[in-house]
Amino acid sequence: MWKEFKEFALKGNIMDLAVGVIIGGAFQSIVKSLVDDIIMPTIAIFTGKVDYSELTITIGQSSIRYGAFITAVINFLIIAVSIFLLVRYINKLNKKLEKMKEEELKKLEKKGKFRRRKTDIVPEKEEKPTTKICPYCFTEININATRCPHCTSELEEKK
């Protein structure tokens, strides 16, 4: 059991996820500072209210802190957009790198400095037809049929 856990925990994907979580936590503190120290004071210029986290509605004995919720939503939106843009950029880079790699391999192959292994080349398989059309009723039937199951016409045998 310990061996299985060790294999699971040390897989590349788990380590990548751990690094992502740590960087995400650090990124969250940067975004929180951006929202609290730059965006909210800028909004306060127009509204006259500086600290939105203190906005509350009191009903009876309960206080609903909707200002803190608004701040959290803005934090989330900034993080989500930032991550979306980062992932989009990385995907574009990966596509460019793959294209460049393929072009470089083609150039080397033309010069005779590189030869693809047979395992690298995936041949296109020619699929043999498994059905044919009955010439009398035009329905699709098995290629080996000698009589149409729909119209019962006798079919020419394959030569």
Which pLDDT belongs to residue 119? Answer: 57
Indicate whether 59 belongs to any domain.
Answer: yes
| 77 and 106, same domain (yes or no) | yes
Indicate whether 118 belongs to any domain.
Answer: no
Closest C-alpha to 54, from 39, 36, 66: 66
| 24 and 98, same domain (yes or no) | yes
Indicate whether 119 belongs to any domain.
Answer: no
Indicate whether 120 belongs to any domain.
Answer: no
Q: What residues are paired with 142 via a beta bridge?
A: 131
Q: Are strands 131-133 and 62-64 parallel, antiparallel or unpaired?
A: unpaired
User: Could you give phi then psi for residue 130, rounded to 5 degrees?
Assistant: -110, -10
| 28 and 60, same domain (yes or no) | yes
| 99 and 132, same domain (yes or no) | no
The tokens of 116 are what? 């693809």
Indicate whether 73 belongs to any domain.
Answer: yes
| 107 and 129, same domain (yes or no) | no
Q: Do the beta carbons of residue 100 and residue 92 sit within 8 Å?
A: no
Indicate whether 116 belongs to any domain.
Answer: no
Q: Is 68 exposed, middle or buried (0-12, 13-18, 19+ CB in 10 A)?
A: middle
Task: Name the band, by pLDDT with cuts 50, 70 and 90, for residue 4.
Answer: confident
Q: Could you say which DSSP state residue 151 is in?
A: T
In the three-class reduction of DSSP (H, G, I as helix; E, B as strand; rest coil), residue 2 is classed as: helix
CA distance 115 to 20: 38
Q: Is 141 exposed, middle or buried (0-12, 13-18, 19+ CB in 10 A)?
A: middle
User: Could you give phi then psi for residue 140, rounded to 5 degrees?
Assistant: -85, 130
| 45 and 104, same domain (yes or no) | yes
Indicate whether 21 belongs to any domain.
Answer: yes
Full residue range of the structural domain in which residue 156 is found: 125-159
| Total structural domains within the chain | 2
Domain containing residue 99: CATH number: 1.10.1200
Condensed to tens digits (0 to 9), the pLDDT of residues 34-85 reads 887 888 788 778 877 666 777 889 998 898 988 888 888 888 888 888 888 8
Q: What residues are paired with 133 via a beta bridge?
A: 140
Which pLDDT belongs to residue 74? Answer: 84
| 56 and 131, same domain (yes or no) | no
